[in-house]
């Protein structure tokens, strides 16, 4: 099965077996991801892939202590894809490696996330989604993953091949969208974001999802927008230190790549946004998404969401980001995909590329075709 250019991979069973299924089905894309990041790290830091993998070893024990089942899943991915476990761990900890304090500079991050409650949507539905902005060279590694796992909600995610978590939603009606925040903290080793995000999506209730974000010590700062199908959303700015939070205003919540709830005390004296374009992407998304309240039905609501996320103010570093030909190919950014999950109906929609010229398509799995699909009183 495929969604335009995105392969659909379904895995099930115990952790290691799920991983083997994943690795076998995504073998080519896992190899492609390793090839791209070898080039990217070489360009930005002079590191070889072997040196990147050596650095990734720092996250073995924190990962195993936090989520031993997901470490097993990664071991299975490595077996299925015919690569080493540390290769897969490096793909999962690529953000943490990029932010390593031994590097002289950090790359800015992208992404604009949103949540729309029923009062802000003309059809009364609850929506969650984002424009996922990252390196254009990664586009050939993207895939949609459905995880059927005993005793836990069924999860649908869009990920880079080899990763066990990123953005998605589950059969308990919980959606997670995430954005980088940046900022230097101490060099203590914390839990990689891919594992934290997967643990959120493995949660069968809202409290467990929020505990997955607030209990562990993350290695890097990251923003998490959690939306529940019963009409609740909260944004958590998580750091290796403090955590800040925000709630929707008039049923709408949008977050970019700068601190909006608070500035961590470690950064307060000299904080500057790593992605200046985040300062206009957020209000532009808010302005566009407010128009969804006037939609006459679900089709129109979804069209208005796509239009809002297609904004080009500041092009090419706009809400809908396009590659800048002035940059070397390995450093060009783009909106890799735009997602829109209807938590009311269970429809998982993806525009497989920039939303301005790609329609939202429905993934052929409904979120609620799995355990926890019925709303509990």
Q: What is the per-residue pLDDT across 13-38, written as a single tens digit (0 to 9) for each? A: 999 999 999 999 999 999 999 999 99
pLDDT surpasses 80 at 107: no
Domain match, 175 and 206 both:
yes
249 to each of 129, 168, 263, how far by Cα in Å?
A: 17, 23, 20
Which residues neighbour 118 within 8 Å (Cβ) at sequence distance 6 or greater?
Answer: 124, 125, 126, 231, 251, 344
Domain membership of residue 369 (yes or no) is no
Q: Which of residues 50, 74, 98 is at a domain's end?
A: 98
pLDDT surpasses 60 at 283: yes
Domain match, 167 and 202 both:
yes
Altogether, the residues listed in the chain come to a count of: 377
375 exposed, middle or buried (CB, 10 Å; 0-12, 13-18, 19+)? Answer: exposed
For residues 230-256, give the mean pLDDT.
Answer: 97
Q: What is the pLDDT of residue 377?
A: 34
pLDDT tier for residue 108 given thresholds of 50, 70 and 90? low
Domain match, 152 and 221 both:
yes
Q: Of residues 330 and 253, which shows the higher confidence score?
A: 253
Which structural domain, as residue segments, surrounds residue 197?
Answer: 112-362
Domain membership of residue 377 (yes or no) is no
Domain match, 151 and 91 both:
no
State which H helix or E strand residue 211 sits in.
helix 206-214
Domain membership of residue 118 (yes or no) is yes
Domain match, 304 and 169 both:
yes
Contact 129, 341 (CB under 8 A): yes
Order the strands of the 127-135 sheet from edge to edge.
252-255, 112-116, 127-135, 333-342, 347-351, 361-362
Domain match, 66 and 185 both:
no
* Structure token pair of residue 169: 């939603």
Quick one: DSSP state of residue 169? E
Angstrom distance (rounded) from CA 57 to CA 162: 16
Domain match, 248 and 271 both:
yes
For residues 84-99, give the mean pLDDT.
Answer: 92
Domain match, 167 and 294 both:
yes
Quick one: DSSP state of residue 218? B
Domain match, 225 and 300 both:
yes
Domain match, 156 and 257 both:
yes
Domain match, 28 and 135 both:
no
Considering the chain, what is the average pLDDT of its residues? 93
pLDDT tier for residue 100 given thresholds of 50, 70 and 90? low
Q: What is the pLDDT of residues 335-355, one digit of tens each?
A: 999 999 999 999 999 999 999
218 to each of 93, 198, 231, 312, 362, how far by Cα in Å?
A: 11, 13, 28, 33, 33
Domain membership of residue 155 (yes or no) is yes
For residues 197-216, give the mean pLDDT.
Answer: 98
Quick one: DSSP state of residue 191? B
Domain match, 75 and 185 both:
no
Number of domains in the chain: 2
Domain membership of residue 321 (yes or no) is yes
Pick from 62-76, 96-110, 163-177: least confident: 96-110
Quick one: DSSP state of residue 375? P
């Amino acid at each position: 099965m495929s969604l335009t250019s995105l392969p659909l991979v379904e895995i099930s069973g115990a952790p290691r077996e799920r991983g083997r299924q994943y690795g076998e089905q995504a073998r080519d894309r896992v190899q492609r991801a390793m090839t791209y990041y070898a080039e990217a790290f070489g360009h930005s830091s002079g590191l070889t892939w072997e040196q990147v993998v050596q650095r990734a070893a720092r996250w073995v024990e924190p990962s195993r202590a936090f989520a031993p089942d997901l470490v097993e899943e990664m071991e299975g991915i490595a077996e299925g894809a015919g690569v080493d476990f540390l290769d897969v761990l490096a793909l999962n900890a690529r953000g943490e490696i990029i932010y390593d304090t031994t590097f002289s500079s950090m790359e800015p991050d992208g992404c604009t996330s949103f949540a729309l409650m029923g009062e802000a949507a003309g059809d009364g539905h609850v929506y969650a989604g984002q424009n996922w902005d990252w390196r254009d060279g990664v586009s050939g590694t993207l895939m949609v993953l459905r995880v059927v796992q005993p005793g836990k909600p069924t999860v649908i995610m869009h990920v880079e091949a080899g990763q066990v978590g990123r953005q998605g939603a589950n059969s308990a009606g919980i959606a997670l969208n995430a954005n980088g925040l940046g900022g230097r903290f101490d060099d203590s080793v914390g839990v990689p974001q891919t594992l934290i995000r997967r643990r959120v999506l493995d949660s069968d209730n809202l409290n467990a999802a929020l505990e997955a974000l607030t209990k562990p010590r993350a290695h890097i700062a990251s923003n998490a927008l959690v939306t529940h199908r019963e009409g609740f959303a909260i944004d958590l700015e998580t750091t290796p230190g403090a955590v800040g939070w925000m709630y929707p205003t008039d049923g709408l919540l949008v977050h970019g790549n700068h601190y909006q709830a608070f500035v961590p005390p470690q950064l307060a004296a000299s904080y500057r946004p790593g992605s200046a374009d985040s300062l206009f992407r957020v209000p532009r998304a808010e302005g566009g998404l407010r128009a969804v309240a006037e939609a006459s039905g679900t089709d129109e609501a979804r069209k208005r969401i796509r239009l809002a996320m297609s904004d080009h103010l500041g092009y090419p570093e706009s809400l809908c980001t396009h590659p800048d030909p002035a940059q070397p190919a390995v450093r060009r950014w783009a909106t890799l995909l735009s997602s829109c999950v209807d938590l009311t109906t269970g429809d998982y929609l993806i525009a497989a590329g920039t939303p301005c010229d790609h329609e939202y398509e429905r993934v052929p799995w409904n979120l609620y075709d799995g355990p926890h699909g019925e709303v509990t009183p």
